[in-house]
Amino acid sequence: MAKLTIHDMKVSGKRVLVRVDYNCPLDDAGKVADDSRIRATLPTLRHILDNKGKIILMTHLGRPKGVDEKLRLDPIAQRLEQLIERPVKKLNDCVGPEVDKAVNKMKEGEILLLENLRFNPGEEANEDAFARKLAILGEVYVNDAFGASHRAHASVVGLGKYLKAAAGACMKKEIEGLGKLVESPEKPFVVILGGAKVSDKITVLDSLLGRAATLLIGGGMAYTFLKAKGQAIGGSKLEADHIGTAHAILEKAAKMGVEVVLPIDHLVADKIDPKARIRIETGAISDGWIGVDIGPKTLQAFEQKIAGAKSILWNGPVGIFENPKFAMGSQAVAKAIAKAVAVNKAFAVVGGGDTAAAVYKFGLAEQMSHVSTGGGATLEFFEGKDLPGVAALTNR
């Protein structure tokens, strides 16, 4: 890797400023509902602790406009304590006299968590003065927040002006894992795209057409493609202003010899509700019914393509997996990918927040080659964009 990593830095006895991405969903009780992003940083934190460093953690949570009591980081600190099995002291600000005082009292092996960075307007504005105040807190800076590295924020790019910036273990794994599919995917390369919107995937679709042999399209976005082909979709998700976009993508794929597999049958519901009536429809979807998952024939076609792949990228669930009645397709796709990894030695990357949440929910995350912690960052990486947080890391 061309950038410095945490293993290149001496952390013994030093205050290590670590940018993490603990932007975790909270449940109705205010507790962490999905801790996968916290777990992803544990190798970095344990490396620092094993080498007698002092950890100062920085993260954001949500999109507050100023201080928002519901977005304080106390639940994050509580969950991290359970996972790391040692105390985590959470502060009530991210800069200022009280923070300076707490940092100066730190001993080897201690962990401090600064308050939500986005409570301070200097974070998202990438203010130099705010970055300087953060930099003073540490002697070594580590970025382990791949999921936030497409943002040019003070804690992501500004700190590199004042401290050497090294990639944490999670960041390193992301760059190398995703980079393998961007730079030299072993063929055949199969891409599975889902999620709600075509508009979220336009640029990455365009980029992947030059590399993938096959595109399997499911989820809500599939219905815009089916509409572009003249098929009735009932009350299914539709981006009417992107029908032309979908048509152009299909035409381009055909010219480039890229196979596009769209759903040929569907699990449909009369409403998006756990108590909904459901049935399987083939081809056109009846009025008053909504496509909520791929059908068994589509799944069989998807499984066949996945079984023959040597490289796989999955971004976006193929159904509304949060509802157990609509999760069959996404779970079966996850199982097919896991089998391709085990049997065919395929290299499989699962990217995007919802997709990662799905494979963790199904208990299959450990069977994937790499589960990305990034949402927008993962997509921008595949689009070939330079992520500000990666570019700001110090070169070797």
Helices (H) and strands (E) in the chain, counts: 14, 15
376 is catalytic: yes
Catalytic residue among 14, 252, 297, 376: 376
Q: Are strands 278-282 and 265-269 parallel, antiparallel or unpaired?
A: antiparallel
31 is catalytic: no
Place of tokens 């009292």: 105
197 is catalytic: yes
C-alpha 354: how far from chain center:
8
Place of tokens 């992947």: 208
Q: How far apart are CA 289 and CA 272, in angstroms?
A: 10
230 is catalytic: no
Catalytic residue among 353, 374, 375, 389: 353
Of 367, 382, 342, nearest in space to 359 by CA:
367
The per-residue b/e assignment along 376-391, b for 16 or more CB within 10 angstroms, e otherwise, is: bbbbbbbbebebbbbe
Catalytic residue among 37, 72, 133, 237: 37
Catalytic residue among 132, 197, 252, 361: 197
Q: Specify burial of residue 297 (Cβ count, 10 A radius: 0-12, 13-18, 19+).
A: middle
Where are any strands of DSSP class E within 100-232?
Answer: 111-113, 140-143, 165-167, 189-193, 214-217
Active site residues: 37, 197, 353, 376
